[in-house]
Chains A and B, each alone.
Chain A
Amino acid sequence: MSTADPPPKADRLKVPRRIAAGGFMLAWIAVAWISYQTPYLHACTEQIAQVGNSAQVRSCGPLSLLDPPLLVLLVAGGLLMVPDLSAIEIPGILRLEREVQDQRKSQEELVRTVQNLSLKLDVSASSQVQVIFQAAEQAAKSVVQSQKSIDELPDKLALLKESDASLGQEVSHDKTSSEHADPALQAPTRTKNDDPDVDTDPS
């Protein structure tokens, strides 16, 4: 069982903050209501009485932006703006989320690039290893063949030496008897190690 991380400070203050905001707004409305409906909490101004028939003096002026009716409207409008305020916050969150999404996307692209690069490196390393392996295999075969040829060479050299000796005698005999035919050379002999597929032009 894992222990949960403590919530952030902003989250912890969210509920008290909202309660306080509601309290202030209610107080504002209540004060406005009391001031409007009762003789308490009035804002009074000194007026110079008009000299004339009427003894009652009434001072009227345009509604102030903070007069209760307007204030009620303002508060109502403010309340109605709450979702918009949230929406104002929401764009911030959304923007943040979008930024997170962009970050995630770029990270994914980076990961993909690294994976591709890794794959390419793997392929390159693999082909290099293959080339080296083929070269090593070819070299090993070649060394085996060389060793075999080296082992067989003395026999072939001896055979050639014998053949040359006999050829010399035949040529000498031919010289004396004026004969040019050489049956031994007409059909070259083969050794037991000769490759039957050998051609006379190794190039």
Chain B
Amino acid sequence: MTLMSTPTPPDLSKPYRSEAEREEDIERLIACWRALESLIKLSELPPDEWSQAQSELVGAFPPASQGVPVPPAVQAERLRRCASLFGAELRLINRTRDRLVRQEIVTDAELVGNTWLARQVLAAITGRDASYYSNYDRAESVAARAHQYQ
């Protein structure tokens, strides 16, 4: 598990070099949003109803990196706190994701900014470096495990 480093802000005035690059960021944003939404929904469930996979997933989040097992109730509370702390960012990501799904116009600047935010927020919650989620399959994996019921 890598430590969080100070993120370099993206340049919103710089457009995508190709349509493929833009498509990749759309996939990243949608996957990251799915993971974030799953984690927020998971935090609303009582921890004793979490499945083994869900407990293992959330149990690996900070501060578990310090080698101390964290009780699920504490992790649930941390997730709720994250949802509150990153509320504005989550709303922005959600709105952009909805517009992408509805095939509305989303500018490059919006997509660059909100994809970056989505990766940063997901990375902060899961205790990873944001570059870890440049591969959107990893965000999909988080979403799938957060949905894995008993």
Contact = CB atoms under 8 A, between A and B. Distances in A.
A and B: interacting chains:
yes
Q: How large is the interface on B (under 10, 10 to 19, 20 to 34, 35 or more residues)?
A: 35 or more
Nearest to A191: B85
Interface centre among A147, A152, A160, A199 (most CB of B within 10 A): A160
A38 to B, nearest CB: 107
Contacts, number: 139
Contacts of A200: 40, 43-44, 80, 83-84, 87
Contacts of B44: 200-201
Interface residues of A, number: 43
Nearest to A161: B4
B45 interface: no
B9 interface: yes
Interface of A: 132, 135, 139, 142-143, 145-147, 149-154, 156-157, 159-161, 163-165, 167-168, 171-172, 175, 180, 182, 185-186, 188, 190-191, 193-195, 198-203
Given A146-B110, A150-B9, A200-B80, 8 more contacts: A139-B106, A139-B107, A150-B10, A150-B113, A160-B85, A172-B68, A180-B71, A200-B44
Interface of B: 4, 6-7, 9-10, 12, 37, 40-41, 43-44, 62-63, 66, 68, 70-71, 73-74, 77-78, 80-96, 104-107, 109-110, 113-114, 116-117, 120-121, 124, 127
